[in-house]
Amino acid sequence: MDRRMRVFGALIFLIIVSPTLAFVAGADGPVLFQEALENGESTLSCDSSPDTAEDEIMLLVWYKDNESIYSYDARVGTEWCNIGFNASGRVIANMSSNPTTLTITALRDDDQALYHCRVEFLLSPTRNTGVNLTVIVLPSEPFFLDELGNTVTNKTRPYYEGDTLVLTCLVIGGRPPPKITWYSGDILVDASYSVSDIPNVRQNELYLPLTRDNADTLSCRATNTHLVKPLKANLLIELYLPANNVTVEWIQETTNGNIRSGDTVIVQCIAYGSYPIPDITWFLNHKSLSHHSNQTWNETLQAVTSRIALTPTRVDNNATLTCEAKNPVMPAGRNSKSASVSLNVTFGPVVHVTRFEDEKNEVIELDTLILKCKVEANPPASKLFWYYNDIEIKDGIRGIRVSSNALVIDEVSRSDSGRYSCAARNNIGETKASPINISVLYPPACTKLGIVLKKETFICNVKGLPTPDTYFWHINQVDYDAQHLTTGSNTLSLEQVAGPFSESLNVSCEADNGIASQDKSCNRVIRIGHLKPQQPQQCDLAFEYKEFQIRCLPVENATYYELSLWRLSTTNTSLVLDQKRSLEVGNSLALMQNEEPWLVRGELGLLKAGDEAGAAACNRYGCSAALLLRPTEGLLSAAMPPWWKFFTERDIGISIGVLLLVVMFVCSTVLAVRLAKRSRTKPVPVIQVLQLDDVTRDYLSRTSDIHGLPSCSLRSNSSDYSEDGDSPSLADCRYPHIPQDWIPPPDVTLTLQRESSV
Ligand SMILES: *[C@@H]1O[C@H](CO)[C@@H](O)[C@H](O)[C@H]1NC(C)=O
Ligand SMILES: *[C@@H]1O[C@H](CO)[C@@H](O)[C@H](O)[C@H]1NC(C)=O
Ligand SMILES: *[C@@H]1O[C@H](CO)[C@@H](O)[C@H](O)[C@H]1NC(C)=O
Ligand SMILES: *[C@@H]1O[C@H](CO)[C@@H](O)[C@H](O)[C@H]1NC(C)=O
Ligand SMILES: *[C@@H]1O[C@H](CO)[C@@H](O)[C@H](O)[C@H]1NC(C)=O
Ligand SMILES: *[C@@H]1O[C@H](CO)[C@@H](O)[C@H](O)[C@H]1NC(C)=O
Ligand SMILES: *[C@@H]1O[C@H](CO)[C@@H](O)[C@H](O)[C@H]1NC(C)=O
Ligand SMILES: *[C@@H]1O[C@H](CO)[C@@H](O)[C@H](O)[C@H]1NC(C)=O
Ligand SMILES: *[C@@H]1O[C@H](CO)[C@@H](O)[C@H](O)[C@H]1NC(C)=O
Ligand SMILES: *[C@@H]1O[C@H](CO)[C@@H](O)[C@H](O)[C@H]1NC(C)=O
Ligand SMILES: *[C@@H]1O[C@H](CO)[C@@H](O)[C@H](O)[C@H]1NC(C)=O
Ligand SMILES: *[C@@H]1O[C@H](CO)[C@@H](O)[C@H](O)[C@H]1NC(C)=O
């Protein structure tokens, strides 16, 4: 044993003193591969347990690249360590552990080497174990350069969707050389790294067409060991994107988007995926809604929310409500996205009645009348009603047909004029249209009244719709030409009709209202005798200015007077018209304005007993009956010149002598009169105040007082005086009809005593 020990001792000494010992991997022993990070530590293991229990370890030596760095002498338990290798005291050996270990900390770049341990046993052969230690040197953090060579940190410059991003990721150093890869989010997009032009730098140039989906955070990863996670640098891509999805939804309770007209609802629009934050605009039927709503940005959803309060009315039914999200930084055309909803605004019916294909509310009788009921309602009206003068029309009544929205009257009659209305009902309510007034026009027709004369005006009573605007008049009288007149109203003043007039006029009128002219004209025989003035009542005869005068109080409405003088024929059997003349009122002769009251005054010349003077009041419609006056005896004698006057007239030879006598007589008479009435200067008229009216005249004519002569004075107002002086025959001069038992009233005043103030 001792000898053996001594032999080993010499060998161990030899080993210890020789600083190097070649180790051929594989041939001298197995080689383990081990990796460790620079500045990290690595534990080299060496199996030093003997194969058999009898055996024992003698010596253990660690070599680095054939050079010894550590030894352990198991016989004496002494350790040795290369000073240079353990300069910083970084080597720790544990010979009591199994396997024994040699731990190197604070690993340096040059610690990468092929290490091996050699173990000498007492009995067993030497054992060699190799460890190929790789010291990993990490590269620098990755960094980014854009295509222009500028460094990019944290965020790229802005890009538009579809642009190609060009970026280079660079890494300095690293052993082994690192792999450089690009990731978009967690997806590997480029692993094509390469050596850079710059020494000790590796790079990976990325060409990435940008889309919404790969616009995640970009990262560049560099790795040369599995011992630590890859080194990573992130970069945000600033990508301008339009909203990719816009939604519009009702916030407040609306059943399936149905809105009752007038209700307020809130609509929400959410626009997702726009960068930067978009502007939300609302449109109702392409018209921008000015009241812009609250717009909020939700970072987590990357969404903009906008709400708007809306109070739609029926005109908004079926309108399109659009929410548009517009990216302010993007070029037009690819900057916006919108979404729409249709409004279903429910409302009660809105009803109008109109004429079918006609705007006027007039229809001509017997034409067809079609009325339309225009209904607007949502939901559509379920029922329709028609009204005539506010009473509901049942189909089939009065020849009325109701078909869908129309009301048809095939042959409209004038009694169908009135207010028509319709009403419609849906589940919101019922509405009645404001009625339309339908006028049924018809041609004019004569009414029962026909033509009437009121005062001096004819009225043509016709009925027609519209009221006639043209009236054709035809005036016929016996012996006169027919007159045709046209008026714009239903009246015709007699002033428009040319005279003269006979007692009765045959008047007809015919109206036209534009619809048609009158079918049958109105006809009437109209008497106008009553339009003549009254017979003068207040007249007298006077002898004045050496002649007889008839004087009357004026008669109302008389425009002139007709004076007539009837003389008793020589045979004393009849009265013959001597003269007849008109006396215009306004004529200075007839009007003596100084007198009070004024009188109609007509000179008659001289009258004899039995003569009669008549005065009739006249106007354009004719003359009244003449009032006849007969001079009384007193008046005649007052007017009669003295008997010798006849004489002087006949004997001119003695006229001068007689003239003297006359002068004397006149002088004495004047003297006598002056003596009688001193105050008077004017000649005194001798007034006879007998007034005969028709009845009196007739009465007188039947009494002996006036020779029983009939008078034709009643005819004096008619046109057929016998102007030629022929005495009217007795047959012509009829007596007024007097009933047999007629007795003149006892107080008939035949004379009217007047004290003349003239
Ligand atoms: C150690 O020695 C062997 C044999 O001589 C040789 O093959 C090997 O290259 C050497 N190793 C080193 C690191 O010099
Ligand atoms: C290396 O040096 C340190 C400090 O000097 C010492 O504690 C340690 O034991 C040495 N290592 C070995 C294997 O000797
Ligand atoms: C050496 O290893 C043994 C077993 O693993 C352990 O118990 C002991 O504490 C170690 N000694 C040192 C100094 O680390
Ligand atoms: C040690 O490992 C490295 C890397 O794995 C290798 O290149 C080298 O050839 C190895 N050395 C030996 C001696 O096996
Ligand atoms: C990049 O981001 C980091 C961390 O958020 C921050 O500290 C730094 O200031 C940013 N750099 C730039 C240029 O914004
Ligand atoms: C819109 O986008 C949101 C979030 O991106 C999504 O939840 C929703 O389903 C999308 N709607 C439509 C219609 O695409
Ligand atoms: C808008 O915002 C105001 C205040 O935040 C709020 O009182 C109002 O109700 C909002 N309007 C809508 C329609 O949401
Ligand atoms: C954003 O939307 C989410 C999901 O709807 C919600 O939980 C969150 O409260 C919203 N944030 C804001 C600030 O409104
Ligand atoms: C609503 O609008 C649509 C499309 O514009 C149209 O087809 C439809 O007839 C409309 N409905 C009503 C009730 O107006
Ligand atoms: C609108 O709402 C009414 C009532 O619910 C319904 O009858 C009608 O069909 C709706 N119209 C549309 C176009 O949806
Ligand atoms: C319709 O006639 C009535 C009475 O006949 C009248 O009060 C109303 O004003 C008329 N309406 C129209 C539009 O002419
Ligand atoms: C006179 O004429 C007027 C107008 O025509 C009439 O009203 C009046 O009754 C007439 N008088 C007489 C007495 O006829």
Are 598 and 591 a contacting pair, CB within 8 Å?
Answer: yes
Alpha-carbon distance 430 to 624, whole Å? 75
184, two tokens = 């978009």
- Identify which has the larger pLDDT, 598 or 46: 46
691, two tokens = 């007034």
Mean pLDDT of 624-650: 74
Check whether 384 has a pLDDT greater than 80.
Answer: yes
The pLDDT assigned to 586 comes to 58
Check whether 673 has a pLDDT greater than 60.
Answer: no
Check whether 124 has a pLDDT greater than 60.
Answer: yes
**Which residue's CA is the closest to the ligand 11 atom numbered 7?**
437
pLDDT digits (tens, 9 = 90+) for 51-86: 888 899 999 999 999 899 999 998 888 999 999 999
The pLDDT assigned to 6 comes to 63
379 lines ligand 10 (CB under 6 A): yes
Q: How far is CA 344 from CA 179, 255, 285, 560, in A?
A: 63, 10, 13, 89
Domain end (from 240, 265, 294): 240
The pLDDT assigned to 717 comes to 31
| Number of C-beta neighbours around residue 40 at 10 A | 15
291 lines ligand 7 (CB under 6 A): no
Probe target for ligand 3 pocket from 94, 101, 102, 103, with the most ligand atoms within 8 Å of CB: 94
Mean pLDDT of 663-669: 65
Distance between Cα 268 and ligand 8 center (Å): 15
Check whether 464 has a pLDDT greater than 80.
Answer: yes
- Identify which has the larger pLDDT, 588 or 434: 434
The DSSP result for 508-569, as a single string, is: EEEEE-SS-B-SS-EEEEEE-GGGSPPPP-SEEEEEETTEEEEEE---TT--EEEEEEEEE-
Closest CA to 127 of 140, 138, 116: 116
410 in the same domain as 353: yes
Nearest-ligand number for the alpha carbon of 557: 12
Tell me how far the alpha carbon of residue 15 is from its chain's centroid. 119
Strands (E), 149-244: 151-152, 155-160, 164-172, 179-184, 187-190, 194-195, 201-209, 218-223, 231-240
245 lines ligand 6 (CB under 6 A): yes
Domain count, the chain: 8
**Which residue's CA is the closest to the ligand 10 atom numbered 11?**
344
The pLDDT assigned to 515 comes to 87
Q: How far is CA 93 from CA 34, 170, 354, 363, in A?
A: 18, 41, 115, 127
Peptide bond into 685 cis (omega under 30): no
Classify residue 216 as exposed, middle or buried by CB count within 10 Å of its CB (0-12, 13-18, 19+).
middle
pTM confidence score: 0.57
Distance between Cα 358 and ligand 9 center (Å): 28
The DSSP result for 398-463, as a single string, is: GGEEEETTEEEESS--GGG-EEEEEEEE-SS-EEEPPPEEEEEEEEEEEEEEEEEEETTEEEEEEE
Mean pLDDT of 130-143: 94
263 in the same domain as 191: no
130 in the same domain as 9: yes
Residue 510 pLDDT grade (very low, low, confident, very high; cuts 50, 70, 90): very high
Alpha-carbon distance 122 to 127, whole Å? 12
The pLDDT assigned to 719 comes to 31
The pLDDT assigned to 750 comes to 34
Domain end (from 640, 666, 698): 640
Distance between Cα 273 and ligand 5 center (Å): 25
Check whether 539 has a pLDDT greater than 80.
Answer: yes
How do strand 362-364 and strand 436-454 relate by DSSP bridges? parallel
pLDDT digits (tens, 9 = 90+) for 139-195: 999 999 999 999 999 999 999 988 999 999 999 999 899 999 999 988 999 988 888
Minimum-distance ligand 12 atom for the alpha carbon of 456? 5
Domain end (from 394, 417, 434): 434
124 in the same domain as 21: yes
318 lines ligand 6 (CB under 6 A): no
- Identify which has the larger pLDDT, 743 or 215: 215
Classify residue 195 as exposed, middle or buried by CB count within 10 Å of its CB (0-12, 13-18, 19+).
exposed
671 lines ligand 8 (CB under 6 A): no
Residue 9's domain comprises: 2-136
Q: How far is CA 657 from CA 166, 298, 640, 664, in A?
A: 170, 156, 22, 11
Mean pLDDT of 222-240: 92
What is the phi-psi region of residue 741: left when phi exceeds 0, alpha when psi lies from -120 to 50, beta otherwise? Answer: alpha
Distance between Cα 358 and ligand 12 center (Å): 52
711 lines ligand 10 (CB under 6 A): no
pLDDT digits (tens, 9 = 90+) for 291-313: 666 789 998 888 999 988 888 89
Check whether 481 has a pLDDT greater than 50.
Answer: yes
Q: Helices 655-676 & 643-650, crossing angle to 10 degrees?
A: 150
| Number of C-beta neighbours around residue 724 at 10 A | 7
Q: In this structure, what DSSP letter does residue 10 have? A: H
**Which residue's CA is the closest to the ligand 4 atom numbered 6?**
132
21 in the same domain as 130: yes
**Which residue's CA is the closest to the ligand 12 atom numbered 8?**
557
Distance between Cα 406 and ligand 11 center (Å): 21
625 in the same domain as 537: yes
The DSSP result for 705-724, as a single string, is: GGTT----GGGGGSS---TT
154 lines ligand 5 (CB under 6 A): yes
Peptide bond into 349 cis (omega under 30): no
The pLDDT assigned to 264 comes to 87
The pLDDT assigned to 553 comes to 85
Peptide bond into 312 cis (omega under 30): no
Peptide bond into 466 cis (omega under 30): yes
Closest CA to 121 of 260, 280, 5: 5
Mean pLDDT of 101-115: 94
Probe target for ligand 2 pocket from 46, 91, 95, 100, with the most ligand atoms within 8 Å of CB: 91
Check whether 665 has a pLDDT greater than 80.
Answer: no
Nearest-ligand number for the alpha carbon of 304: 8
The pLDDT assigned to 749 comes to 30
615 in the same domain as 557: yes
Minimum-distance ligand 1 atom for the alpha carbon of 66? 1
Buried b (16+ CB within 10 A) or exposed e, 420-456: bbbbbbbebebbbbebbebbbbbbbebeeebbebeee
Check whether 682 has a pLDDT greater than 50.
Answer: no
Residue 637 pLDDT grade (very low, low, confident, very high; cuts 50, 70, 90): confident
The pLDDT assigned to 255 comes to 65
The pLDDT assigned to 678 comes to 42
492 in the same domain as 460: yes
Rounded to 10 degrees, the C-alpha dihedral 492/494/496/499 comes to 150
- Identify which has the larger pLDDT, 127 or 721: 127
Alpha-carbon distance 237 to 165, whole Å? 9
132 lines ligand 4 (CB under 6 A): yes
Check whether 579 has a pLDDT greater than 90.
Answer: no
306 lines ligand 7 (CB under 6 A): no
Check whether 396 has a pLDDT greater than 70.
Answer: no
Residue 709 pLDDT grade (very low, low, confident, very high; cuts 50, 70, 90): very low
The pLDDT assigned to 609 comes to 83
Check whether 112 has a pLDDT greater than 60.
Answer: yes
**Average confidence score pLDDT of the chain:** 81
Residue 708 pLDDT grade (very low, low, confident, very high; cuts 50, 70, 90): very low
The pLDDT assigned to 75 comes to 87
| Number of C-beta neighbours around residue 236 at 10 A | 12
317 in the same domain as 229: no
Minimum-distance ligand 10 atom for the alpha carbon of 318? 13
Supply the Cα-derived Rg of the chain in whole angstroms: 75
11 in the same domain as 92: yes
**Which residue's CA is the closest to the ligand 12 atom numbered 5?**
455
**Which residue's CA is the closest to the ligand 6 atom numbered 5?**
272
622 in the same domain as 713: no
List, in sequence order, every residue forming a beta bridge with 551; answer none if it has no partner.
Answer: 540, 601
Check whether 713 has a pLDDT greater than 70.
Answer: no
**What is the domain-level CATH number for residue 512?**
2.60.40.10
Probe target for ligand 10 pocket from 255, 258, 259, 316, with the most ligand atoms within 8 Å of CB: 258
116 in the same domain as 25: yes
